[in-house]
Structure 1
Amino acid sequence: MNILLRSVKIIDPQGKHNQQVADIYIKNGIIENIDPEIGPEKGTQIIEIPGLHVSPGWFDSSVSFGEPGFEERETIAHGLFTAARSGFTAVAVNPNTHPVADSNADMAFIKARGNGAATEIFPIGALTAKGEGVDLAELFDMSRSGAIAFGDYRSPVANPNLLKIALQYVQNFDGMVISFPLEKSIAGKGVVNEEETALRLGLKGIPALSEELQIARDLYILEYTGGKLHIPTISTKRSVELISAARKKGLDVTCSVAIHNLFLNDSVLDGFDTRYKTMPPLRTEEDRKALLKGLTDGVIDMVTSDHDPRDIEGKKVEFDYADYGTIGLESAFGALNTLLPLDKTISLLTSGRGRFKMELPAIEKGAMANLSLFDPSPEYVFKKSHVISTSANSAFYDQKLKGKVYGIIRANHLEADLS
């Protein structure tokens, strides 16, 4: 398949064509030419859309699909279709399936289910057997079958010795441990951020201390063991400070933030809408601003949609009993582009690849096509009609967002809505 992208603006902060307007000719999945004007060969599909921009393909470090076990939430095939139409050429999928993805066979199954999709899937293996937090899973075997990291999704490593052993063990094959930042004994039965909003609504609170104490403990262990640690979806001002201090010590630690924690604060909980029940919870406006500053300062390495489809039975219940989680792939670019300059938005949507040992796609002659297609200008209100996912539990309904995503081109795959 040959494709000519006509008069597109290239946003590639690390590339030589950044901010250029040019034609891009893709032949058999390879970028053959980038030039101000290219004459197409016979049979070429020409894509010419006013305001069309391209960037290196986006990567999301934390998405959840339901398969196997919870296919009613999202199958792998439909999840990858959702990711592609949302501009992502690669996603790392969490092991919160049934059964938990904790073996080399599970990694092979996930990779096989993603074969032929436009968006590439990279499995994260469970850190512990069955995700129960007792014994380490088959980490080395999973790494040989395609696991890019190891962590129990939204489940902290309660046993500090287990984390110590894990960090020591994965150094034998350059693996990385993901440790969710939550001290459960502090969080207790909390369901939202422990602050004024929780008190006013009569909802049990999750103190910021529950996140910060776990991070402090994990960083002390990392300092002792060495190795690579990734802390996903931090949500408090103090968490940013703790990770910044650890970096200054030379510790090999990275972190991410969920886009909904950047965009929303706990004031939206006033209506008891369970779409806003997330883990970690939405925090204060002070925390939200600190997270944004952490991004601009480079302390927070990457953003994630933390896409987590939930069926209606998990959300249309009393707040205390509702599932945590929000879908986020479809709204990710629009929300981030509303908050940050375009170059920064694109950098954050691609920067996670290096940490997970992936090459950053290049927009240059001879490179495999790996492109996200979008227009950063249109402003709109996010509605259910924008949802592609099987589930509809979005925290972004009725929010004003900026930027339209058309889809992606990866190798010989074109998955886009060009209307």
Structure 2
Amino acid sequence: MAATLALVAGGIVLFNAREARRAGDLELRLRAEALAADLLRSGDRRGRRSEDEFHLDDESHRLERAGVLGYVLPVEGGRVLPPPPGAFPDLPNVDAAAAALAARAGRFATVTTAGGQARLYSLPAMRNGRPIAVVQTARSRYFVETALARLLLAVMGIGAGGLVLSAGAGFWLAGRTLRPIAHAMERQRRFTADASHELRTPLTLIRGNAELLARHPDRPIGEYGDVVQDIIAESDRLGRLVADLLTLARVDEGRLQLLLADVDLSAVAAALAREFEPLATARGLTLRAEIAPGVHVRGDADRLRQLGVILLDNAVRYTQAGAVTLRLTGGHGAILSVSDTGPGIAPEHLPHIFERFYRADPARSSDQGGFGLGLAIARWIAEAHGGRIEVTSAPGRGSTFSVRLPSK
């Protein structure tokens, strides 16, 4: 883009320079032809200078001249006679006049005078095939060159501005292009660090308990029933974590596909209510199920069940007292929601609640079995079905997670 601007700017300057000089040469030639015609009509052969078409501005640089000078140089014996001394001793130029006389044709020339460069046009005035004089018109090149210099400065300024804008736009576009990559790399780095931390915790507990058993090989295994149960529990937690990590890895790679079919979401919700009722009762909670019949969607039954499990498991695990409500409504699409009377979520945590490994408060820690991956998976399942998942919550008032799915 910068190169294009430079080429365009150079083309503009060159075009204007050529046209300005061509116009100046045309005016010199026309004025010389007019002077020659007047000379032939009047028969005047005296060297003279037109007085009304020249001025010198003393306030400016002494080279600043405007208008056209016109001279008539007599010819005698086949040679140009020099004019009498004038205000400008370098003009008219006898050598340029002699060259035009020798060529018997008008000729342009650029000469250097005390006042700077001037453009000349010398034209022989012919009578009956014989030259009687050479008409010479001259104009200072100051104004043309000054105008072109100013144009060049203006174009250079515009070009420099264009380069600055191009560079700024380039940096801005590069920033916009690289920002998502940087964010993705940062998310990957955090994901790897968090996953390593979560894997280290159960592995450390398993190793510690195994070393305890190894230090006392002579004791009966029955004395270490609690230790063995801890190893089994941590192994289960480790298995769930690995499964969740593999799920998210496949999601990132785009390799996790849905098996779409007609799904009776009412039946799926009713089955989830039956499965979680004993868990809720064991924790002293009431599980309410408000399920509309005949709600069907097009989706993956296993993934939709997994989504419901994630929401119900979180609600039962983090609610200390009260009730958990599973609600399904139909109509224009389906809305599956899980509400609890738990501690709620502070407003500053809500925008991040679906991020990987994010935990809103210490109450939602891995000590209770959570890794902060379930809601990230739930969001992917909802969005993969063309829906969305939302949360409304306030500290001390519980939380409601709602999944909106399109109709078949």
User: TM-score, normalized by length of structure 2?
Assistant: 0.21
Indicate the structure whose relative CO is greater, using CA pairs within 8 Å and at least 6 residues apart: 1
User: TM-score, normalized by length of structure 1?
Assistant: 0.21
